[in-house]
Amino acid sequence: MNTKKHTIALSTGERLTADEGQTVLQALTDFGIPLRSDCGGKGICGKCLVQVNPPDGKEAVEGSEAPLLHKACKLIVGKELNLTIPETSIARAEVISKPVFRSGARNASIPSKNSALSGAYGLAVDLGTTTIAAYLCDLGRGEVLSSGAIKNPQFIYGADVISRINAASMNSTNLGKLQKLVIRAIHQVGVSLAEQQQVKPEKIQKVMVTGNSTMTHLLLGVDPSPIGKSPFKPAFTDGKTVKAEKIGLFFHKDTTLHTLPLISGFLGSDIISAAMAIEIDKHPGNVMVIDVGTNGEIMINSHGVLYGTSCATGPAFEGAAIGHGVLAISGAIDSVSIGPKMNRGDGSETGEYAIEYSLIQNDRKRPRKAAGICGSGIVSAAAELYRAGLIESSGRFSYRSDSAEKVSNFHRNRDGVLEFSLVPGRETQSGEDITLTQKDIRAIQLAKGAIFTGITSLCKKVGITHPAHLYIAGAFGNYLDKDDAMTIGILPKLKHNMIDAVGNAAGEGAILALLDQDFTERAKEIAGRTRVLDLASHPDFQKAFTQSLLFP
């Protein structure tokens, strides 16, 4: 039976055709317009809002004097629609900085020029659950030309890997849709980077992908359901090479796509790539790397023996699961400072704390107002609230409505939820205050507790109290303040010179493998050497995790 079609007209002049019964979120995603939907289309986060306009632009909608905002994930296509998409609802792709090569072996092993590959280009991809980062490289010169990131459009099936495993295992149709979404996103960011450099996309001859085990399976169209149930074994762990066009990725007819090897169901090639980039396998001992993402992955080299573990961090550190959370895009709050209470003209206190914040601005020529708060900003805000005594060690807001010392930054929103205001609406893109709620603080506690438990469990496994040196990989680590992280208990108390943020080390490792076959072989070696510590089955896990939820 043929499905009835309806037209969706956008205020930009674009028109798309959607199936009757589809959600607007699904229709826009299929059209290549991903919206923010941290809850995976469950209608909880309220970030996928679209404005429904009257057909003639004059009449009121449903008795309202103004156009209505609807959750795109709950708005069902049943007739022709005229929509405006607020900028704050769009999951924007942005140019990101080039990775800095820290590997001492890199310059020695990759020739500055390779005439045999002159005029050929490659794409290194870090395929994350939340974000897809890509790097366009000149294969002949061994150089990174440009880099970009886009939100993983699979989010409409859920923000974490378990949600996507469940969706894929329901039927083969969902598996195909998940694969198509991510391939289309890789193609989109690859073409965008090529056009920036005035390179024809068909000159991209090689694509190297690193990512967690679930994302790698979905990319290749392989059912990841074995990862989601005991004994949590992936369908494969070896690196794969396929003709790109066979899985629907079209650059050139001879373009090949390569994936790096996996370690286990929850330790993917992303932690291997990060390990390669910092040369963890060559350090003398007790050096640890953490790749912070929706699924946290940790590896330690204890005097030549590699151990790895994973922890269900959740998407909080990438802005998801937070009411006003965003990715590390322009306009994202990346740090917060809470000063003393402000004074009136007569010198008396107002009850309001002075808040200062900084914003990420990836394009200094086009600065943006505050759009929300990203992972490092959430950590910064939580640390400042704790230092100011505005949250207790349990994570509970320190608030009393009947207190003479009432803090006016606290108020209840339209749903009656208590929240702490960080940025007033006049300073934001949406015109609404950017706030933190008790639920947001709880999400941070779960995320930070998972990481801290992973760190301490690996240390205990190798017989040490803390790592000799700790590397933090991922965009989150780029902006993370070390004191903030230690204040709320993400990281153990270490000296500053014992902690280094290394940016997107997983992406850097993918670049190394793209440009030099030796690094692909090295990835295999690291995968084979790594011993896996399963936290969930560890007898002390539940007790350690519960304790780690507290702010120290």
124 backbone dihedrals φ, ψ, rounded to 5°: -100, 130
211 plus 346 within the same structural domain: no
Q: What is the pLDDT of residue 326?
A: 85
Counting as low any pLDDT under 70, the low residues of the chain are: 1-2, 40, 56-67, 92-115, 343-350, 400-406
Instruction: Report the Cα 178 to chain-centroid distance in Å.
Output: 17
Q: What is the pLDDT of residue 282?
A: 85
Q: What is the pLDDT of residue 26?
A: 86
DSSP strand pairing (372-373 vs 332-343): parallel
Among candidate residues 435, 465, 487, the one where a domain is terminated: 435
User: How many other CB atoms are there within 10 angstroms of residue 460's CB atom?
Assistant: 14
Q: What is the pLDDT of residue 344?
A: 62
Domain presence at residue 170: yes
99 plus 221 within the same structural domain: yes
374 plus 421 within the same structural domain: yes
- Size (the chain), residues: 552
At 2-42, the pLDDT tens digits run: 679 999 999 888 999 999 999 999 899 888 787 887 776 77
Q: What is the pLDDT of residue 107?
A: 38
Q: Tell me whether residue 62 is exposed, middle or buried, using C-beta atoms within 10 angstroms of its C-beta: 0 to 12, 13 to 18, 19 or more.
A: exposed
45 plus 77 within the same structural domain: yes
398 plus 414 within the same structural domain: yes
> Reduced to 3 states, what is the DSSP secondary structure of residue 403?
coil
Count of alpha carbons within 13 Å of 69, Cβ hemisphere only? 9
User: How many other CB atoms are there within 10 angstroms of residue 516's CB atom?
Assistant: 18
CA max distance for the chain = 76
Q: What beta strand segments (E) does 319-375 contain? A: 332-343, 349-359, 372-373
Task: Return d(Cα 525, Cα 276) in angstroms, integer.
Answer: 10
Q: What is the pLDDT of residue 94?
A: 58
63 plus 130 within the same structural domain: no
Q: What is the pLDDT of residue 237?
A: 97
118 plus 84 within the same structural domain: no
Domain presence at residue 528: no
Q: What is the pLDDT of residue 183?
A: 96
pTM: 0.84
254 plus 107 within the same structural domain: yes
Q: What is the pLDDT of residue 249?
A: 96
Q: What is the pLDDT of residue 479?
A: 77
Segments in 223-370 forming alpha helices (H): 269-278
Q: What beta strand segments (E) does 115-186 contain? A: 121-127, 131-138, 143-151
Angle at 530 between CA 526 and CA 536, to 5 degrees: 140
Query: Amino acid letter at 85?
Result: I
At 237-274, the pLDDT tens digits run: 999 999 999 999 999 999 999 999 999 999 999 999 99
DSSP for 443-488, please give it.
HHHHHHHHHHHHHHHHHHHHT-SS-SEEEEESHHHHH--HHHHHHH
Among candidate residues 38, 63, 89, the one where a domain is terminated: 89
Query: Amino acid letter at 55?
Result: P
119 plus 241 within the same structural domain: yes
Structural domain span for residue 404:
332-356+367-435
Residues 328 and 379 sit within 8 Å (Cβ to Cβ)? no
Task: Return d(Cα 321, Cα 342) in angstroms, integer.
Answer: 31
98 plus 202 within the same structural domain: yes
Domain presence at residue 323: no
Angle at 60 between CA 59 and CA 62, to 5 degrees: 130
Q: What is the pLDDT of residue 347?
A: 57
Structural domains of the chain, count: 3
